[in-house]
């Protein structure tokens, strides 16, 4: 359980995190979504006590992070997989973590196996690790204390598709066992694939939040037929909303109802699917575009 309340962080005139409030609940994966520089990492660093907040509170399992008696046993943290002493071996890093938490060294081997780092790789210095191997090591370090809460900043970075799949399954299992997972990403589809709840941040502020279904689904159905106007009229006669757009009909009804109605009215449906969760994607694109350095408006300049 992570409870963030009106969290604010200012650097001089810049407000990096602006009155952010949300909760990451046990048994669920909470995806923290936002473009680069939106304030995700700063928020997570405040939650883990590395950055002091200007105002507001962040509590993990009901306490300030600094008041956790043995944080590693309660909260697994992975903020930056490259932030390790490059001259230590992976095994050494896990040993130090295990020793700090007061765990038997057997946990080290168990974790290496869990994240599929071979003994040979474990004895290499982290300097020689690929980013994917560092992420695996970081996840091992986060899980070694058997925590109740996981806080992971962009954990999929550097993992190959199989690795991403593996991590999704791992986090799903962790949440299904009652654990709390907060993970950040700047990729909508990545969050879509794993999160139960989504919190969207842009320019330091929360711009949307809720369950994945609320944010991505429930936007109605797209039906396509050769005669969209006729189909729209048929749907309306059945008491369903219908708007024609781009040669297709958008309705608030679910796909099954829309399909049956079209069939009953004698229309051959050529496409039938849940409408895009357009709201979130549009909003996210706008957020991303606003913070993008390479604007796509170069053509205007050329025309002038």
Partner 1 sequence: MSTTIHTPARSAGDTAAPAAGARRRSAPAPIPFSRIVGVELQKMFDTRAGFWLCASIAIVAVLAQVAITAFGPDSMITFETYATAMGAPLQIILPLIAILSVTSEWSQRSGLATFTLVPSRGKVIAAKGVDALLVGIAASALAIGIGALGYLVGSTITGVERSWELSVTSTLLTILALMLSLSMGFVLGLLFRSSPGAIVGYFVYAMLLPALFGTLAGFQQWFADLQPWVDLNYSATMLYDNVPDTEGWLQLATSAGIWLGIPLLVGAWLLRRSEIK
The answer to whether 87 contacts partner 1 (rule: CB under 8 A) is yes
- In the complex with partner 1, which residue's Cβ is closer, 41 or 261? 41
Would you give the distance in Å from CA 23 to the centre of its chain? 14
Residues 137-166 that bind partner 1 (CB under 8 A): 141, 148
The answer to whether 171 contacts partner 1 (rule: CB under 8 A) is no
Would you give the distance in Å from CA 121 to the centre of its chain? 29
Q: Which token pair is 28?
A: 């669920």
The answer to whether 70 contacts partner 1 (rule: CB under 8 A) is yes
Burial of 303 (0-12, 13-18, 19+ CB in 10 A): exposed
**Cα separations in angstroms, 48 against 2, 7, 37, 63, 168:** 11, 13, 18, 11, 23
Helical (H) or strand (E) element with 274: strand 269-274
Task: Return the residue of 26, 37, 230, 259 that touches partner 1, per CB under 8 A.
Answer: 26
| Tokens 């694939």 sit on residue | 193
Residues 177-216 that bind partner 1 (CB under 8 A): 177-179, 196-197, 199, 205-211, 214
Q: How far is the CB of 130 from partner 1 (least distance, A)?
A: 18
Which DSSP state fits 218? -
The answer to whether 37 contacts partner 1 (rule: CB under 8 A) is no
- In the complex with partner 1, which residue's Cβ is closer, 12 or 239? 12
Q: Where along the sequence are the contacts to partner 1 (CB under 8 A)?
A: 1, 6, 18-19, 21-28, 30, 45, 48-52, 65-66, 68-75, 77, 79-80, 82-88, 92-93, 96-97, 99-102, 141, 148, 177-179, 196-197, 199, 205-211, 214
């Amino acid at each position: 359980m992570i409870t963030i309340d009106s969290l604010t962080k200012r650097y001089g005139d810049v407000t990096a995190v602006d009155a952010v409030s949300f909760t990451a609940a046990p048994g669920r994966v909470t995806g923290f979504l936002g473009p680069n520089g939106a304030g995700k990492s700063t928020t997570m660093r405040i939650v883990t006590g590395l950055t002091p907040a200007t105002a507001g509170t962040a509590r993990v399992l009901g306490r300030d992070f600094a008041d956790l008696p043995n944080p590693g046993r309660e909260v697994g943290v992975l903020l930056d997989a490259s932030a390790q002493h490059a001259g230590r071996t992976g095994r050494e890093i896990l040993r130090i973590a295990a020793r700090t938490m007061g765990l038997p060294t057997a946990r080290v081997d168990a974790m290496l196996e869990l994240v599929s780092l071979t003994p040979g790789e474990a004895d290499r210095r982290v300097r020689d690790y690929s980013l994917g191997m560092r992420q695996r090591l970081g996840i091992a370090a986060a899980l070694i204390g058997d925590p109740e809460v996981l806080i992971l900043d962009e954990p999929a970075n550097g993992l190959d598709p199989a690795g991403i799949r593996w991590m999704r399954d791992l986090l799903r299992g962790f949440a299904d066992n009652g654990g709390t997972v907060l993970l950040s990403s700047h990729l909508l589809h990545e969050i879509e694939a794993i999160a139960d709840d989504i919190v969207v941040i842009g320019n330091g502020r929360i711009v949307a939040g809720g369950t994945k279904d609320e944010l991505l689904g429930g936007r109605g159905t797209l039906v396509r037929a050769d005669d969209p106007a006729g189909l729209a009229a048929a749907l309306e006669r059945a008491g369903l909303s219908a708007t024609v757009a781009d040669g297709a009909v958008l309705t608030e009804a679910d796909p099954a109802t829309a399909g049956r109605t079209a069939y009953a009215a004698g229309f051959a449906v050529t496409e039938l699917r849940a409408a895009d969760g357009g709201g979130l994607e549009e909003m996210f694109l706008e957020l991303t575009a606003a913070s993008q350095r390479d604007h796509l408006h170069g053509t205007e300049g050329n025309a002038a």
